[in-house]
Amino acid sequence: MTVTPGTGREQLFSRRRRPAGERMLDIVFRQLTLALAAVVAIVLLAIFLTLIQGSHEAIASFGLRFLTTSAWDPVNESYGAFVAIYGTLVSSLLALLIAVPLGVGTALFITEDLIPMQLRELIGLMVELLAAIPSVVLGLWAIFVMEPAIRPVLQLLHAVLGWLPLFSTTPMGPGMAPAILILVVMILPIITAISRDALRQVPVELRQGAYGVGTTRWGAIFAVILPAAISSIIGGVMLALGRAMGETMAVTMIIGNSLNFSFSLLAPGNTIASMLANQFGEADGIQVSALMYAALILMVLTFSVNVLAQWVVRRLSLKY
């Protein structure tokens, strides 16, 4: 709501003579809401300041070496977060690779008039409810149900493609691959919901035009509807990437939390978030500082992805 002094509403409001108490109350209320709004910005700044303040000791002693070395040795007080950073990037990017076609496909299926209205609403509701299931419950399910169920598949993968570095270890239970699958489950609802909203906002005239020149339904989807919605979908995908990088509990419970580097997706791995969840409680001294440093890296990663996502949406969404 724009309120510029001197125009309509403001004038109507300020012309009236008011008792001092009433005017005072108005001013106090305005200042109060201003202060409450500022809390958000202060919290965001305080997060950065706390992480920087907590990690300056580790930054001073490890510097940028922290990003590229993988020693995690509390005895010799030598720390490097390469394994966790690598795990964060690989797990979230691979999860995205699987979740994007699934999510966008599902969104198309429930917006493009292929099935009756009630069924579409039901599928939409179920995907939304999937987003409400707590991460820790998905982790529990992953440990006891999903991982034993997919282990034979992973073993087959290792038997057939074991010569590739990606599948070079025998799957023993927790590992990168099950963690990626549970991440897919967790980001699928975000991608589906945002794609669905984007597809719904495509003007109906565009569809009618496409059908009018004689295209098939999927011809219209690929040539007209998806291009019209693509900016919001890309924005949603990037938000999902941010979510995947910071996802903690389910991943911590199923990834195996290994501090050793391995190319293999079947071996146990680690992410920054799972490392924090696992070690923060028991850490002290410079280890806390090193963990804060890792948290700062995670914060910067997700912050950049989120800002980029907002920029993409704003930059590209003016096309139609």
Partner 1 sequence: MDPTNLASASASSGLFERRPLQFDPALRRNRVNKLLTSVSALFAAIAVLPLVLVLLYVLLQGGRLLSLRLFLELPPAPGLSGGGIGNAVLGTILVTLLATLITVPVGIGGGVYLSEYAGKGWFGQFVGFANDVLAGVPSIISGVFIYGMIVATRLFFGQSYSALAGGVALSVLMLPTVIKTTYEGLKLVPNDLRLGAYGVGASRFVTITRVVIPAALTPISTGVVLAIARAAGETAPLIFTALFSPFWPDGVFNPIATLSVLIFNFAIMPYEAQNELAWAASFVLVVMILIANLLSRWISHVSRS
Q: Note whether 91 binds partner 1 by CB under 8 A.
A: no
Q: Is residue 137 involved in binding partner 1 (CB under 8 A)?
A: yes
Q: Is residue 130 a contact point for partner 1 (CB under 8 A)?
A: yes
- Is position 81 an interface residue for partner 1 (rule: CB under 8 A)? no
Mind giving me the DSSP string for 77-89? TEE--HHHHHHHH
* CA distance from start to end of the chain: 24
Three-class SS state of 163: coil
Q: Determine which residue in the list 93, 97, 136, 159 makes contact with partner 1, applying CB under 8 A.
A: 136
* Count of residues touching partner 1 (by CB under 8 A): 103
Q: Which is nearer to partner 1, 14 or 164 (CB)?
A: 14
Contact partners, residue 303, CB within 8 Å, separation at least 6: none
By CB under 8 A, residue 222 contacts partner 1:
yes
CB closer to partner 1, 137 vs 156: 137
Which helix (DSSP H) or strand (DSSP E) does residue 227 occupy? helix 226-246
The reply on whether position 41 binds partner 1 by CB under 8 A is: yes
CB 252 within 8 A of CB 319: no
- Residue 73 is given by DSSP the state E
Phi, psi torsion values for 300, nearest 5 degrees:
-65, -40
- Tell the burial category of 82 from Cβ atoms under 10 Å away from its Cβ (0-12, 13-18, 19+): middle
135 binds partner 1 (CB under 8 A): yes
Per-residue x/- mask for partner 1, residues 230 to 249, rule CB under 8 A?
A: ---------x--xx-xxxxx
Among 93, 145, 159, 161, contact with partner 1 (rule: CB under 8 A)? 145
Binding of partner 1 at residue 217 (CB under 8 A)? yes
Measured from the CB of residue 98, what is the shortest distance to partner 1 in angstroms?
Answer: 10
Q: Binding to partner 1 by residue 226, rule CB under 8 A?
A: no
Compute how many other C-beta atoms are within 10 angstroms of the C-beta atom of residue 309: 19
Nearer to partner 1, 11 or 260 (CB): 11
| Contact with partner 1 (CB under 8 A) among 80, 139, 175, 256 | 139
Tokens representing 310 are 């907002």
